[in-house]
Amino acid sequence: MKWLQGTGTSGGIAEGPVYVVRKKQYDIRCLPFTDPEEEGKRFEAARQLAMERLSGLYETAVSRAGEESAQVFEIHRMMLEDEEYLDCVREGLGQWNAEWAVDRAGKQFAEMFRQMEDDYMRARAADVEDITRQLLSFLVGREGEDTDVSELSSDGPVILAAEDLTPSETVRLDKSRILAFLTAKGSANSHTAILARSMGIPAVAALGPELLSVESGTPAVIDGGTGIVYLSPDEETQALFHGKIEKNRLYKERLEQLKGLPSVTRDGRKVAIFANIGGEDEAKLAMEQDAEGIGLFRTEFIYLDSSDYPDEETQFRIYKRVVECMQGRQVIFRTLDIGADKQADYFRLPAEENPAMGIRAIRLCLIRPELFRTQLRALYRASAFGPVGIMFPMIASEWELEEAVGYCETVQKELKEEGIPFSGDVELGVMIETPAAVMISRSLAKHVSFFSIGTNDLTQYTLAMDRQNPEFGRFFDPHHPAVLEMIRMTAENAHQEGIWCGICGELAGDTALTELFLEYGMDELSVGPSKVLELREKVRKI
Ligand code: PEP
Ligand code: MG
């Protein structure tokens, strides 16, 4: 038995034979003294074919992985229309054959992305490489094939191993024939990882070049959570994984029985169990898991997944789809929480000494009201299609909340004047995630309908310990009495002012605390979709 350690990028356990696919090697030669006009025509023809292919891939991706994941092919199409990129290719076409010019421009652009500071932008190098290979495949007459995934063995599903997989390859794969993805390269930020997660296929990335020397057909078991891959597992390891798989299956079967049942304690105390999501695909997951609503939609992911500010219409369409997907269950949108660990280059935020304590979340929205207004308009417009809540992150002072509520009023007035429909029942809320907000929660409660406690940030600011730093060990105590007291106090103040209170930070899913949270009178707990039924089971036992 041999094992490899990589980075788990999409959770789950899989067992089966490994199938190694290799990239087709294109023999790209530099041919000077070619006819620039002729080469220009060849490039244009290849570009048109690639664009058509991308439209097809977009449709396939929408049906297999959802609209949001399919956006990657829109990004690829945009790259093929990008003037800067086209100029770079054209410059080469004046000197060499089209293949060489495309290959050279691709390398240059991929390198430029690789040098960027932002993780998200760095991961875009893989997208440039993807479109380059597609163009080359058309130029050399190989019709858009790159890695030969079409050669997949017909003997049943396999664990697919490759140096790296491009998003277009990933989405073209027949899901029923893939047990898991293994890649020598790649990162959790890559679109391939995002696609794997939304397709619900376990995946491990960054396994190193050794992966490629594995012989196809080698039996393996893989854990997409821990990132471990066992090759030719011995009986003991196999038994261990079989045990894990079986236990998991039985547990899931038991949880399935809880769908449609209320989240209520044995003595009749009800608590709403909502789901946290970061995109529209997860809304489907939340429905599948019978979440009673969405307690936190981290809307900044829409901004992070975009190369420029998403406009009102784009946002509206996403919010509307999520609201419709939830079929009458409330969706609570958290307004843009960009800054700190969530950065997008186009925001051009100045570097800060302490980004976690910097210009982020509501502070940024109040400094850039146009940004805020666009989002609020999109949110209010979506409210015409189902129950919506809006909450503001990182509130520290009452005036911030007053201003934020003021923008909501202005936006409603504008929409009314423009004759655009929206609901008059949008609930407004405050995320309680700074100690300051806890201390003034009685005053804050007078302006809104609910509180949602963001325990991730509340813990970091209460303990003065960076939530991203894995080195804290026993210093970082999520059950710290100071944090628990903050939570208790917030719920008490909310109830004294007659508003409801929930928790949407990770602590909401900590079943060791569920009973205590119910004692505090918590009205709602919002957790990742996969935790909803587990939490319901816990509540029903109390
Ligand atoms: C929190 O801080 O607890 C929270 C839910 O928000 P985020 O994790 O997105 O900062
Ligand atoms: Mg937070």
Tokens for 321?
């789809």
Phi, psi of 338, rounded to the nearest 5 degrees: -90, 160
pLDDT for res 168: 66
Round to whole Å and give the CA distance between 381 and 315: 10
Element (DSSP H or E) covering residue 338: none
The predicted model gives 501-525 an average pLDDT of 96
Higher-scoring residue by pLDDT: 10, 233 = 233
Q: Is the CB of residue 169 below 6 angstroms from any atom belonging to ligand 1? A: no
pLDDT above 90: residue 481: yes
Cα 528 to Cα 454, 457, 458, distances in angstroms: 14, 17, 18
Round to whole Å and give the CA distance between 97 and 160: 35
**If you take atom 6 of ligand 1, which residue's CA is the nearest one?**
454
**If you take atom 8 of ligand 1, which residue's CA is the nearest one?**
456
pLDDT for res 85: 87
Round to whole Å and give the CA distance between 105 and 268: 66
Is 325 a known active-site residue?
no
- Ligand of minimum distance to the alpha carbon of 301: 1
Residues 32 and 174: beta-carbon distance below 8 Å: no
Q: Is the CB of residue 459 below 6 angstroms from any atom belonging to ligand 1? A: no
Q: Which positions ≥6 away from 407 have C-beta within 8 Å?
A: 369, 372, 373, 376
CA 379, 382, 384, 388: dihedral to nearest 10 degrees?
-60
pLDDT for res 219: 95
Q: Is the CB of residue 457 below 6 angstroms from any atom belonging to ligand 1? A: yes
Q: Is the CB of residue 456 below 6 angstroms from any atom belonging to ligand 1? A: yes
Q: Report the separation in Å between the CA atom of 349 and the middle of ligand 2, taken as the mean of its atom positions.
A: 19
Residue in this structure with the two tokens 């995934």, named with its chain if needed:
149
Q: Is the CB of residue 149 below 6 angstroms from any atom belonging to ligand 1? A: no
Comparing 100-109, 128-137, 139-148, 265-274, the range with the smallest average pLDDT is: 139-148
Question: Counting beta carbons within 10 angstroms of the beta carbon of residue 8, is it exposed (0 to 12), middle (13 to 18) or buried (19 or more)?
Answer: buried
Q: Report the separation in Å between the CA atom of 457 and the middle of ligand 1, taken as the mean of its atom positions.
A: 6
Is 191 a known active-site residue?
yes
The predicted model gives 100-117 an average pLDDT of 87
Q: Which of 76, 191, 325, 408 is catalytic?
A: 191
- pTM across the whole model: 0.67
Task: Tell me which of 504, 525, 526 to substitute to probe ligand 1's pocket, judged by most ligand atoms within 8 Å of the beta carbon.
Answer: 504
pLDDT category of residue 513 using cuts at 50, 70 and 90: very high
pLDDT for res 528: 86
pLDDT for res 416: 98
Round to whole Å and give the CA distance between 280 and 267: 36
pLDDT for res 253: 92
Tokens for 153?
């063995």
Q: Report the separation in Å between the CA atom of 433 and the middle of ligand 2, taken as the mean of its atom positions.
A: 6
Tokens for 472?
């804290």
- Ligand of minimum distance to the alpha carbon of 525: 1
**If you take atom 4 of ligand 1, which residue's CA is the nearest one?**
454
Residues 15-29 have pLDDT tens digits of 999 999 877 667 788
